[in-house]
Structure 1
């Protein structure tokens, strides 16, 4: 699943990722072979979401068939909470494609290099960036939320790192310009638990409806979220992640490379 904008998609999906103990280079190949670039510790974790886990719940036939056709989906957990916050803030309000372009522009302009790939600028860099730099990147309206998040991250990252996901979602909302959607999206990215993701949002509603156009899906977020929880039962994370993976696969053509696994 290549939903995170940190993936360089061509010629082969590749991503650099910080962990608390080192930096890794990951390629989306059939065999998971992360390469340590600096530091040490354990390689970033792959979460696996298996449609087989959904067979004991009653999903609409169209959605069940669409997700089952994916097979098990692998997704790289974002071990860097700061990057997860940057990503979610950039995704606020704008379309996914525009957010990916903006995120890549920020990394290429300001991010440190890890091999051939750029990482997100660290919180200290974001806090020190002048207003003109944001303006030049077309990110003037992202400056205040990113700098508020950077300031909060530098003050609270140790306590945030010790929190369970649901508590972290609440804690992040104390930061100016971070609401429930941003907090939930960031923590889902960071923990791999998509029961925390704001599953009533437009992305989930859109992909559910496109995967299963025969069903009458609610248009409003609150009603859809209630139905989604009821359908998912104990598999809310798996159902949400797989639906987003189905959308990730269908929103763009996967890169043509023999070793690429998509999603």
Structure 2
């Protein structure tokens, strides 16, 4: 692999939970995830944006270790590891805070998985597009719709596709996109409106002004508090973000609505994103089996279940 970069990052990491998350979120054609039989080791492959074009990135995931390899020099690999896998956080502080009340059910989950991290994303616009397409549908449906978007507007490179950037999506006709993606008119309009907002200056990145970003997202028709909160957690690195409107979280907390979820979660601040990740992991990610943990490299057309909650 001529000119390749490689770095090994050794920090506490619940590799099984990280791989399960990747399996359930991998976009067909954009990411490929493989998990070994014991479910604690595997790899993920995708393209990332480099100064001279797409760079192929392979991350080998093992307990307490990430080995990142690129096809040629590209982004700062330690920064990629910290952003994608959350390995830059102080887990000791997280665990101490979230287990401070021993009889809290969340404390038990944290004690069972003390090395659980909050995964992020290498491309904030890609995360935002997938989140919009995943509104009110299952994770499987969200992956399918996002894979169709990549196949329609992305750039193929060998066996993987570079996800389209905001400029490319902003230029799309919403009605034509609705037909290609097979989503509702409202969803395709929201997606294109989001892309156009990004082209017009909305910053979707860690480090951007969080209030301005949230206000900009909420100004897009079809984007509400759940989407803004989820993106703060998943794409912008806000460790106190908490999407209280999430159905899976509310069920796990046994609360009736977002207001009650917000009130219950106050005690978990400033690590509410970790609380959410532990609840999601217990409800969904911990149930992923190695037999189901190979994601295809090209888009397929699995049956969608729009009735299922997302995690």
TM-score by length of 1: 0.78
Match of 1:4 in 2: 25
Q: 1:158 to 1:88 in 2, by over 3 A?
A: closer
| Unaligned segments of structure 1, at least 5 residues | 210-216, 258-263
- Could you tell me which of 176, 195, 198 is aligned with 1:132? 176
Match of 1:213 in 2: none
- Could you tell me which of 222, 229, 232 is aligned with 2:259? 222
- Could you tell me which of 250, 273, 280 is aligned with 1:205? 250
RMSD: 3.1
- Could you tell me which of 82, 106, 109 is aligned with 1:63? 106
1:102 and 2:134 aligned: no
Q: Note the C-alpha offset of 1:254.
A: 4.0
- Could you tell me which of 48, 51, 56 is aligned with 1:18? 48
1:47 and 2:77 aligned: no
Q: Which moved more, 1:16-25 or 1:101-110?
A: 16-25
Q: 1:133 to 1:146 in 2, by over 3 A?
A: closer
SS of the residue 2:221 aligns to: coil
Q: 1:37 to 1:110 in 2, by over 3 A?
A: farther
Count of paired positions: 248
Give per-residue Cα distances to partners, 1:85-113, cap 9 Å, x unaligned: 10211111212222122222322343223
1:182 and 2:227 aligned: yes
2:123 & 2:242 partners in 1: Cα distance? 17
Give per-residue Cα distances to partners, 1:197-240, cap 9 Å, x unaligned: 3134212123x35xxxxxxx22222112211213x143323222
1:98 & 1:246 partners in 2: Cα distance? 21
TM-score by length of 2: 0.67
1:165, 1:196 within 8 Å by CA — same for their partners in 2?
Answer: no
1:195, 1:237 within 8 Å by CA — same for their partners in 2?
Answer: yes
1:29 and 2:66 aligned: no
2:189 & 2:56 partners in 1: Cα distance? 30
2:45 & 2:229 partners in 1: Cα distance? 23
1:235 & 1:158 partners in 2: Cα distance? 24
Match of 2:131 in 1: 88
Q: Which moved more, 1:108-117 or 1:75-84?
A: 108-117
Match of 1:241 in 2: 277
1:254 & 1:125 partners in 2: Cα distance? 36
Q: Note the C-alpha offset of 1:157.
A: 4.5
Q: Note the C-alpha offset of 1:148.
A: 0.5
Higher share of residues assigned helix: 1
Q: Note the C-alpha offset of 1:78.
A: 1.6
SS of the residue 2:66 aligns to: coil
- Could you tell me which of 201, 215, 235 is aligned with 1:156? 201
Give per-residue Cα distances to partners, 1:132-170, cap 9 Å, x unaligned: 343133124321111111111111146977623344222
1:164 & 1:98 partners in 2: Cα distance? 31
1:23, 1:36 within 8 Å by CA — same for their partners in 2?
Answer: yes
